[in-house]
Amino acid sequence: MTRAYNFSAGPAVLPESVLRQAADEMLDWHGSGMSVMEMSHRGKEFMSILAQAKADLAELLNLPSNYKILFLQGGGVGMNGIIPMNLLGNKKSIDVVNTGSWASKSLKEAKKYAKANEVATSEPQHYTCIPPRDTWKLDPDAAYVHICSNETIGGVQYHWVPDTGSVPLVADMSSDILSRPIDVSRYGLIFAGAQKNMGPSGMTLVLVRDDLLGRALPITPNAFDFKQQADNDSMLNTPPTYAIYIAGLVYQWLKKQGGLAAMEAHNRKKAALLYDLLDATPFYTSPVARSDRSLMNVPFTLPTEELTTAFLQGAKERGMVQLKGHSSVGGIRASIYNAMPIEGVQALADYMKEFAAHHG
């Protein structure tokens, strides 16, 4: 068996040891005689898996005691509607900082529920940077301020936490959750789909501050009412049990790697291999402002479409897959999430150097 170096933006590479453990436990989890997929979500076996996953996640994040962990469904796209329904309360407006594809989608969806204001945008810069905080036109009476901490398509990432005063900050961390330590107390709510840094798709993590619970609009579906889900330990409906189990194994793997600080150091090393090469090689273009470059998704372009196609073909022949940039921006995108080993990034950097020397 040969595993490819998988640079997919998501669903994405998972730690091999996690996949091996899941394979070992597939037919009989810990002597239960059942696969995790076959267990009642309310049975003692799955309840223990859920409790362990929550405890490990809280430890990794150093989660303050006034935050709830919810394992829901709906994905990032679902959350774009679910969050306004839950947090609007008696407010009228929502502030959104538009940094690219994903923040744009959040803005558009929020408009169904509220007056959603685009308080800053990097659209004139083709979404290649984060608008500086002092240009944001925030409404002090907004229900919350929405940011996307890492734009998966554009490869733009916040390397600072915006101060929004008493207005809660909501962050879509779908593509950089658990890639570095965060101060959760700076946020009112954090959400993330699992399928990049945590596990398979199907599970959506929500971390929410207690005081933001209980404001849901009456039309909010019960399954997506954060207060009801918090009161029921994410068990108001059947949770995505298998995805939670895999995420739990990933949390244990992260602890073994030394936690989020160690992960950040590793991720910085990996990203530097690519960015240093991009900066040193005029053949390639890296579109993103240096200060806002993502440590998770590294987009770059080659001089022509033909060279891009040849590059992807050569990469595939060398066991490096899913490098094609998103159709909306083209070019190449290397997603180098937590589980991408440094050897994979080194192999890509070596190939990029060779390709540029040959074609440049």
3-class SS of residue 250: helix
Q: What is the per-residue binding string for ligand PMP in 179-218, x denoting contact by CB under 6 A?
A: --------------x-------------------------
Residue 42 annotated as binding? yes
Q: Which is nearer to ligand PMP, 241 or 335 (CB)?
A: 335
> Using an 8 Å Cβ cutoff, are 13 and 6 in contact?
yes
Q: Which is nearer to ligand PMP, 123 or 305 (CB)?
A: 123
Note if 160 is an active site residue.
no
**Does 155 participate in binding ligand PMP (rule CB under 6 A)?**
no
Q: Partners of 206 in the beta sheet?
A: 70, 191
Q: How far is CA 212 from CA 118, 130, 168, 221, in A?
A: 22, 27, 9, 17
> Using an 8 Å Cβ cutoff, are 188 and 209 in contact?
yes
What is the C-alpha to C-alpha distance for residues 129 and 167, in angstroms, rounded to an integer? 23
> Using an 8 Å Cβ cutoff, are 182 and 67 in contact?
no
Q: Which is nearer to ligand PMP, 117 or 152 (CB)?
A: 152
Q: What is the per-residue binding string for ligand PMP in 17-56, x denoting contact by CB under 6 A?
A: ----------------------------------------
Q: Which is nearer to ligand PMP, 191 or 355 (CB)?
A: 191
Residue 73 annotated as binding? no
Note if 102 is an active site residue.
yes
Note if 172 is an active site residue.
yes
Residue 279 annotated as binding? no
Determine which residue in the list 5, 7, 8, 10 makes contact with ligand PMP, applying CB under 6 A: 10
What is the C-alpha to C-alpha distance for residues 88 and 181, in angstroms, rounded to an integer? 28
**Does 152 participate in binding ligand PMP (rule CB under 6 A)?**
yes
Residue 331's contacts (CB-CB under 8 Å, 6 or more residues apart) are 299, 300, 301, 302, 308, 325
Contact residues for ligand PMP, defined by CB under 6 A: 10, 75-77, 102, 148, 152, 172, 174-175, 193
